[in-house]
Amino acid sequence: MTRALDRVLGARLPDPPDALRRGPFGEGAFPSPLHTERRASRVGVWLGAGFVVCFLTGLISHWVQHPPSWFVWPASPVWLYRVTQGTHVMVGLALIPLLLVKLWTVYPGLFRWPPARTPAALVGRLSILVLVASAVFMLATGLINISQWYPFGFSFKTAHYWTGWVAVGAVLTHVGAMAPQIRRGLARRGSPAAVAGLEPAEAEEVRAADEAAEHGAVSRRAFVATAAVATGAVALTQWGQTISPLAQVSVLSPRIPGVGPQGLPVNQTAISAGVTESAVDPAYRLVVEGPTPLELTLDDLRAMPQYTERLPIACVEGWSASAEWTGPRLRDVLAAAGHPRGTVVHVESIQTGGSYRVSTVSKPHSASDKTLLALRLNGEDLDIDHGYPVRLIAPNRPGAMQTKWLGRIAPGAAGVGS
C-alpha cells in the first residue's frame, strides 16, 4: 500500500504546453539576483517569528474574551492586556511590508516551470497557496478591523480566530517541507552547509547567485536596509496609539491617546448605542441581583465610599490610554447585595443591542480593590460617551469588556472565567 502510494505521488506529471510560458512564466521573467534561498530564508525567519507572536497574543485576547473553563486571566498587573494586545496589533502591522518582501524574494518560485513535476510536488504547491492566502487574509482583515470598517458579511472575530490556526499550521507545514532549503539559506555564505544536498552544478549556481546579489543594481545590503526601514516606518507611525510619547509621529494610528471627550478616545458613542435618553432619565436605577437585591439611584452610588484608581483603557484595536477613574468598588456593591467576595457576575448595559452589551467579571476582577463602578473620569462626572451615569472599569481587561451605561449586575455561572 505504501509503495503504491509512493509510486502515485512520485509519478512524473506531463509538462504543460510551452505556449503557456507567458508573462511571469516566461524565461528570464525574474532577473534580479536577490531572488535567492538566502534572502527568502532570512526574511522568513522574521516573518515566522512575527506570526508566532501575533498568534500567541491573539490567542490570549480570544481567551480573555471567551475564557475556557481552565483559563484564569489575572487582575494584575493592570497593564498586561495593554501590552499583549498592543504588541499584537503593532507586530501585525509591521508584518505587512515584511510579507510583501518575503513574497518578492520567492516570487520566481511561485511561477517556476513546470509548476509541479509530481503529484507530491503539486500538493506542496497547494500548501503554499494556503499559506499565502491565510497570511494575506489575516493581515488584511486585521488592518480593516483596527480601522473599524467592516465591508465583509462575516464575523471578523470568528474568521480571524480560525484563520489564525490555519495560518500557523500552514507556517509549520511549510517549515517542515522546506527544511533543507531553509537550512542552506540560513547557513553562512560560502560554507559547505550553504550548498549541502545540492548537485555540483546547482551548488555553483547558488554561489554565483550570492555573489551577484553583492554586486547587482540593488545590493544585498540595500535590499536589507530598505526592508528594515519600511517595516520600522510602519511600526513607528502607529505605535503612538499605545506609546503616548510617539503620538505626534504616529500618523497611521486609528486612535491617538488624549484625543476624545475628557481626554480619552471613544469607540462607541451614546448615539450609536441608542442611550442618549435612557442614560439621563431621572428614573435610572442600577439593579443588583442577589440575596439582598438592590436598586441604586445615581445618588445612592455617590453616597457610597468613593475610590480613585489610575487604569488604562486597552482596546482590541491596539490603542490604549490611561485615566483616573472614581466610584465605589464593585466588590462593595456586591457585598451590599449579599454576595461573597469574588462572586462571578454578569454586567449588562442599558443599550439594547451590540455584541458587548453584556460582559462577565471573573473572580480575580470582581474581588480586586481596583475594579470600580466609575462615576467620574479625570475629576469630572462621566461624559455620556464614556458611559454616564455609571460604567465598569476593571484592571487588565479589554476595553470592549469595560461595559458602559450599566443597568444590571447579576450573578454568573459558577466556574465561568473564574
pLDDT score recorded for residue 402: 96
Of 263, 270, 298, give the one whose Cα is nearest residue 389.
298
Q: Is residue 247 part of a domain?
A: no
Q: Based on the domain organization, do 360 and 387 belong to the same domain?
A: yes
Q: Per the structure, how many domains does the chain have? A: 2
Q: What is the pLDDT of residue 416?
A: 41
Last residue of a domain, one of 194, 215, 242: 242
Residue 406 domain-assigned? yes
Domain endpoint, select from 209, 242, 275: 242
Is 253 a member of any domain? no
Whether residue 60 is found in the same domain as residue 100 = yes
Q: Nearest-CA neighbor of 378 among 256, 255, 260, 253?
A: 260
Q: Please indicate, yes or no, whether residues 325 and 214 belong to a single structural domain of this protein.
A: no
Q: What b/e readout covers 82-115, taking b as 16+ CB neighbours within 10 angstroms? A: bbbbbbbbbbbbbbbbbbebbbbbbebeeeeeee
Q: At what angle do helices 80-110 and 220-236 cross, to 10 degrees?
A: 150
> Is 281 within the bounds of a domain?
yes
| Domain assignment present for 251 | no
Q: State the pLDDT at residue 6.
A: 47
Q: What is the pLDDT of residue 413?
A: 64
Residue 255 lies in a domain: no
Alpha helices in 66-110 (DSSP H): 80-110
Full-model pTM: 0.84
145 and 231 inside one domain: yes
**Residue 330 counted as domain residue:** yes
Q: Are residues 224 and 268 in the same domain?
A: no
Claim to verify: residue 4 and residue 73 sit in the same structural domain: yes
**Is residue 370 a part of any domain in this protein?**
yes
pLDDT of residue 414: 47
Residues 379, 273 share a domain? yes
Domain encompassing residue 159: 1-242
pLDDT at 150: 82
Residues 303 and 371 in one domain: yes
Rg (CA), the chain: 28
pLDDT at 330: 97
What is the predicted pLDDT for the residue at 294? 96
Q: For 273-324, write each residue's pLDDT tens digit.
A: 999 999 999 999 999 999 999 999 999 999 999 999 999 999 888 888 899 9
Res 418: pLDDT? 38
Is the same domain home to 79 and 218? yes
Task: Answer yes or no: do 194 and 231 share one domain.
Answer: yes
Residue 357: the pLDDT is 92
Helical axes 37-65 vs 80-110, angle rounded to 10°:
140
Q: Please, are residues 395 and 417 in contact by the beta-carbon 8 Å criterion? A: no
| Low pLDDT (below 50) residues in the chain | 5-6, 8-9, 414-418
Q: Is residue 173 located within the same domain as residue 31?
A: yes
Q: pLDDT > 90: what percent of the chain?
A: 47
What CATH number does residue 294 fall under?
Answer: 3.90.420.10
Q: Which of 242, 273, 296 is the last residue of a domain?
A: 242
3-state secondary structure 196-232: CCCCHHHHHHHHHHHHHHHHCCCCHHHHHHHHHHHHH
Q: Same structural domain for residues 229 and 284?
A: no
User: Residues 6 or more apart from 188 whose CB is under 8 A from it?
Assistant: 194
